Amino acid sequence: MSRTEKLQANSSQFTLGGKPFRILGGSIHYFRVPRAYWEDRLLKMKACGINTLTTYVPWNLHEPERGVFNFEDDLDLEAYLELADSLGLWVILRPGPYICAEWDLGGLPSWLLRDPNMKLRTTYPGFTDAVNKYFDQLIKKVVRHQYSFGGPIIAVQVENEYGSYAKDTDYMTFMKEALLSRGVTEQLVTSDNADGLKMGRVKGGCLVLQELNVMTVSLLVAASSLCSQPHRPKMVMEYWTGWFDLWGGLHHVFILLLIEMVAVVTEILKMDMSINLYMFHGGTNFGFMNGALAVGIPSPKPMITSYDYDAPLSEAGDYTTKYRLLRNVFSHYHTQDLPKMPFLVERKAYQPAVVHQHQSLWDSLHFIDKPINMENLPVNNHNGQSYGYTLYETTIHSGGTLNSNNHIRDRALVFVDKQCVGVLDYNVLELTLPDGKGKRTLSFLVENTGRVNYGTTLDEQRKGIVGDIELNKQPLRDFLIYSLEMKPAFVNKLTSGHWLSMHQRPSFPGFFQAKLHIKTQLKDTFIKLPGWGKGVIFVNGKNLGRYSSVGPQQTLYLPAPWLNRGDNQLMVFEELESDGKILFSPSADYGMSVDVQ
């Protein structure tokens, strides 16, 4: 089926199908929600009065290795678009290639950084060639889902927040042509905050509508005055409903500002503008996908695993006070009653799972003279290592002063003969190694805690050991390097490895295994790990993400569709200490809160 009179932005008001149309949008990222819950979350979105779904597309998940594409299962973008269409939701697609999203490297695949001269988000040939090959695969999958062809996509974003980067004046033109030449026919848009509006424009921008990212009316007024398209519809592409959290910080929520937030949304709508709530439902940074905040160079602060975002719909899909208040606001912009609010997904606190066996990291290793960074390791079909940990080992003959020269990215546990002697990171650059006789093994377990997702330092996000480490002012050489990306195949292989009973004292870092036996109906839950230090947890081979005693996040979301009736395998990789049991809770605990300012 084809349609005429697509979304038009030729006057002060949008039209769709030839009729006036206001976009009441909300962001839900399919890659942050288990596929089994896509419909639940979208139905709750529609019941709130939202008529348009917005979603990013993460390049790093869809092309994890150069030329290897994945659009299946939880990454089946076409299924997500078809579901939105079947539920009567329009879609604004934000395909990147850069998405920000508090996502590792803003969604750009780490293998791009194997090129030492790489210039991300520019017309550097090494970047544009990779974008073209990716878009050849991605865009052909979405063009048939456009409004003009009977699908739900009414607009497509040209890159994302380029005005805050703006290293190449030709780049946005390249991106626009990359979409148009592959059959994108719907309304093109950009999205920038007030500071980036001027630099984020597209040359010959009559085809491309500028949209705004704001949190307050005062910022909205200021941004509107900078917009170069005064007689076209205005839309807030990202009205921030909350904020993200960082490890070691506090949990951001609207407390005092909740009523003010509703007042701002009401005012935006009274100004005859369209709006998109970012986020409507945040979901979870499963695995190692969290980004990092570039608060200092080069000392980024990693995001937590949860992406609850204090959004109207919680991480586990619960209604919030914010949801109910916004539903009341949006109800005034519909001629019919809103759909009934769907029932909530039940949750349960399962009985504690007791760890019954453990395995030392050193027993799980199943490989160059100078140390090389993670992305340039000869693994993954020569695409390098993207995420997780890398172990570097060499031989030393003395103690003394170990200096990282700030070449650790991002954090390393340091061992002498498998005994931890300290941590090196952006703040701690030196350690004193104890004296000893003969040859000893010096080990660095380096964690990629998350690449920066926003700002001008994207080209500098190589991880692992990125330069010389010195002992007594002499560079260390002759490294053995082990890639510990902790992909499902690695985790599954561990199950048949060298496991010891908990009656034998565990060593750290190590893997710890427990079983959760479920006889009743499967329900969502949250995992709690009091008494544990820092690490990662896997359930039935699925990486739930990182945990850390520094908080603020105290629980990890475990969706019921990832559980089995009967036995469930729980495996924890712990760096420092273990309590010996895994607890469960029916509710999330994101730690001490602070008001979003």
Catalytic residues: 161, 238
Residue 213, Cβ neighbours under 10 Å: how many? 25
Distance in angstroms (rounded) separating the CA atoms of residues 425 and 558: 30
Q: How many CB atoms lie within 10 A of CB 284?
A: 25
Q: What are the two backbone dihedrals, phi and then psi, of residue 517, each rounded to the nearest 5 degrees?
A: -100, 125
Peptide bond into 509 cis (omega under 30): yes
Contact by Cβ (8 Å): 75, 289: no
Burial class, 557, CB count within 10 angstroms (exposed 0-12 / middle 13-18 / buried 19+):
buried
Strand partners, 395: 441
Q: % helix / strand / coil in the chain, to the nearest 5?
A: 25, 30, 45
To which residue do tokens 């890639």 refer? 483
Q: CB of 522 within 8 A of CB of 563?
A: yes
Cα 454 off chain centre by: 12
- The greatest distance separating any two alpha carbons of the chain, rounded to the nearest whole angstrom, comes to 83
Cβ neighbours of residue 544 under 8 Å, at least 6 residues apart?
284, 286, 305, 527, 536, 537, 538, 556, 557, 558
Please, what is the Cα angle at 145 between 144 and 150, to 5 degrees?
Answer: 90
Amino acid 96 reads: G
Cβ neighbours, 10 Å, residue 533? 17
Backbone angles phi, psi at 311, to 5 degrees: -80, 165
Which residue in this structure is represented by tokens 């005012």?
267
Rounded Cα–Cα distance for residues 217 and 209 (Å): 20
Q: Give the CA distances from residue 380 to residues 64, 286, 445, in Å, rounded to whole numbers and listed in that order.
A: 9, 21, 20
d(CA 60, CA 378): 19
Q: N- to C-terminal Cα distance for the chain?
A: 47
CA 24 distance to own-chain centroid: 24
- The first and second tokens of residue 103, run together, are 């996502």
**Torsional sign, CA 577, 523, 345, 153:** positive
3-state secondary structure string, 503-533?
CCCCCCCEEEEEEEEECCCCCEEEEECCCCC
The helix (run of H) or strand (run of E) holding residue 45 is helix 38-47
In the block, residue with structure tokens 């729980």: 570
258-270 vs 321-331: helix crossing angle, rounded to 10 = 20
Q: Phi, psi at residue 277, to the nearest 5°?
A: -85, 120
DSSP string, 165-205: T---TTHHHHHHHHHHTTT--SEEEEEE-GGGTTTT--TTG
